[in-house]
Structure 1
């Protein structure tokens, strides 16, 4: 990524209003083009080890405009650029690889269970109750843990209904969300190898997202 992209986002954070944005529209267009170039590279490289179909760059990039209808924060724009990379793009509804570019060493790559329905969460817990070993082997792999050291996401403070307090996998069962992320410094983001870093992060995250997509979306429900 270009350093001027991070500079634009820093300036936007300090001037988050429509008038300033329109006056600096050319800088935004340049920053968006910079992201599009990176996403095109990621699609090409990730496509070498995962079938992305005929995924297009425009299907991956999120709008910079915020939905302020139900928010107390009325700033019209996000302070970041972001993309969702996976089969079907950002609108697939499935778990993909989410990349957010944000200055201040806040850029990150992540993925996992985020906004699930009660049925999807029940599927996840049913699988953990039945056999947690496959997931644990993935997330406790030494290379995975080195890149994604911490389980993230909201968890219940009490035992989920239908499960024993002393269940051996009670901590996983309590998770309402389950995702992993890796942060990059601004220096890494603006380095010539940033794209390669993200591809490496995606390759490490793939077994986890494959597992979660199967459990939540593909696994046949038990009668």
Structure 2
């Protein structure tokens, strides 16, 4: 049976949001550590579920401490849990993310958050040469019933250097990230079936991941790079 996210997660983060300082957190750290222990079980369960139908070699649950060195926001603690799951490189590409936050701010995400410059150029060149396959994936009813039919994430204003701003696939080419997200309410997150719902959604991304893995492991002539 899958672990259930305890309601205390949301209760604690709502209190922390009103008391985001070191004194309060240190006084309440035992409660946080107890909650964190339970949530780690959730992330490990997601990891195990993914490996039943994919190959995921890395799981990282992010710490609650914020890096405030280069941020205008100097609050010391995050008011959410986050964790990522990376597919087995170099053969498989893409990653999964689970974000747990109160007030209906929880979500899952999949895709490519920060592709390196070589991968980003390769993706853009593929879309420049032929965007039919990615369009077919995005327009598939089963796929966009879960993930929608468009990417979210940062993009350049016009066109990347070396690309035609009037190209028919410029909407795809100008992206700097290729991400899909799916939001959940607090009620949905606390439901006993939540992790099954998450896993079903993650399964639905596979046509995109299979395509992108093929793109990123071959050159423009289809010759393997690995």
Which TM bucket (shorter chain)? 0.7 to 0.9
Query: Which sits farther off after the overlay, 182-191 or 33-42?
Result: 33-42
Residue 38 of structure 1 corresponds to 42
Deviation at 1:48, TM superposition (A): 1.3
Q: 8 Å contact 2:68–2:76 — kept in the other structure?
A: yes
Match of 2:158 in 1: 158
Q: Which residue of 2 aligns with 1:101?
A: 100
- Which secondary structure state, in structure 1, belongs to the residue aligned with residue 99 of structure 2? strand
Shift of 1:34: 2.3
- The structural deviation recorded for 1:160 is 2.7
Per-residue CA deviations over 1:153-210 (Å, capped at 9, x if unaligned) read: 1222213332333322121111122211000000000010111111011111233234
Q: Find the counterpart in structure 2 of residue 167 from structure 1.
A: 167
Q: Which residue in 1 is equivalent to 2:180?
A: 180
Q: Which moved more, 1:174-183 or 1:110-119?
A: 110-119
Q: Which whole-Å CA distance do the structure 2 matches of 1:26 and 1:156 have between them?
A: 45
Gaps of 5+ in 1: none
- Is the 1:52–1:87 contact (alpha carbons within 8 Å) kept by the matching residues of 2? yes
Q: Normalising to structure 2: TM-score of the pair?
A: 0.85
What's the offset of the Cα at 1:101?
0.3
Choose 149-158 or 3-12, whichever is displaced more: 149-158
Show the counterpart of 1:78.
78
Aligned length: 214
> How far is the alpha carbon of 1:88 from its aligned partner?
6.1
| Cα deviation code 1:50-77 (max 9, x no counterpart) | 1235x5xxx4211111111111111111
TM score, norm. by length of structure 1: 0.86
Structure 1 residues 78 and 221: CA distance shift in structure 2, 3 A: farther
Cα distance change, pair 159–108 in 1 and its aligned pair in 2 (3 A): same
